[in-house]
Amino acid sequence: MSSVRLQVNLDALAENFHQLRRRGGQNKPINMSAAVVKANGYGLGMSFVARRLYQEGCRRFFVATVAEGVQLRSQVPDAHIYVLAGATSQTLGDLTTYQLIPVLNTRQQCELWSPTRQAAALHIDTGMHRLGISWDDDLTQLPALQLELLMTHYARADEWSDTLRVQQTQRFENCFAALREQHPDILASLNNSAAVLTDQVTKDARFHSEREGCVDRLGLGLYGVNPHTQTDTPAAKQLLANVATFEAGVMQVRRVKAGATVGYGSTHCVSGSGRLVTIGAGYADGVPRLLSNRGHVFFQGYRLPIVGRISMDSLVVELSDEMAMTCEIDEGDWVEIFGPHLSVEEVASQAQTIAYEIFTGLGSRVQRLSYSQQSE
């Protein structure tokens, strides 16, 4: 039995989906909200995440690769599945066989996909300079395509006070207008979770948010995480429910005296008598090593400090004698590494990274368990 587990609350996932969907516009059809489930559903488990969202009415999903799209197709048989990597000669067969929709990023990909006469999305680079056809290219010279979606990525959607979004939105609008003459039914997609949750935004930057035919791409917010770098944004705090709880089992509890050192390199010295508790999770499971001597776990109302270096398979927390009088922890107990009491945002901040990396860095031996009142 695994000593480390991730519990995924599918009811909270569904709640977040509907909250974010309503943020995109009270009258927006449910099929205009897409779920981003790449990287194994942001590390939480793509299969049961996608199945629950499909039950809630979600009919559009984004993945990164064709392999992810093939895996997803069996879970959502009639959904639109967009592949962000686009089309290559190696993936052309699977794209067509499994009716996946490539997000075309280059003129070469457009030329490759054109003869299939199947649906495609087109990615416009409006200022991020990562992927996509440049906004100032002549889009009328592209080969014939069956375009159903035009999309772009905001470079700084997680900074709601940034003005670049206004510029990117205007560039996208120009491209959208040019292509709509040839593709009158084309859909638009600009907003991710961060953009949907933005409170203070100009009218121009929110151009496509509530208009008909705009697909919101819901990613990190679905999984209960505030996507904003400016964490005082109230919408995320008020709307999002915790979805993922990462826990590990207690392997050993030992009494120690003052002066005992802990872990590789003896980087922590116990100042007084107490207890050291070894937890069965380490960096191989996705616990960042940077939490050594600075992070915490949660147990029975207590934040227990991580002491010493985190190992591949374990970490150690410390209890003083005084704390041990009321915090009764023993072998086999489960402690929270992140979840409703220790947010993944806090853990990411302590590890000098972002919540995306914490989620997607969870190891393969972490047992992923889903639960919901629907199945009770």
Alpha carbons 273 and 268: distance in angstroms, whole number: 14
38 is catalytic: yes
Query: 57, exposed or middle or buried, with CB in 10 Å at 0-12, 13-18, 19+?
Result: middle
Residue-wise DSSP of 55-99:
HTT--EEEESSHHHHHHHHTTSTTSEEEETT---TTTHHHHHHTT
Minimal CA–CA distance to 359: which of 37, 4, 44? Answer: 44
Q: What are phi and psi of 85, to 5 degrees?
A: -75, -10
264 is catalytic: yes
Catalytic-labelled residue, pool 154, 203, 264, 371: 264
- Do the Cβ atoms of 191 and 197 come closer than 8 Å? no
**Running DSSP on this structure, what letter comes out for residue 212?**
T
| SS3 category, 32 | helix
Residue-wise DSSP of 300-367:
TTEEEEEES---SS-EEEEEEHHHHTT----TT-EEEEESSSS-HHHHHHHTTS-HHHHHHT--TTSE
Q: What are phi and psi of 31, to 5 degrees?
A: -80, 5
CA 307, chain centre distance (Å): 29
Taking 3-state DSSP, the helix, strand and coil percentages for the chain, each rounded to the nearest 5, stand at 30, 25, 45
Minimal CA–CA distance to 312: which of 280, 339, 347, 355? Answer: 280
Catalytic-labelled residue, pool 38, 42, 154, 223: 38
The region, left, alpha or beta by phi > 0 then psi within -120 to 50, assigned to residue 153 is beta
CA atoms within 13 A on the CB side of 292: 17
- The catalytic residue positions are 38, 264
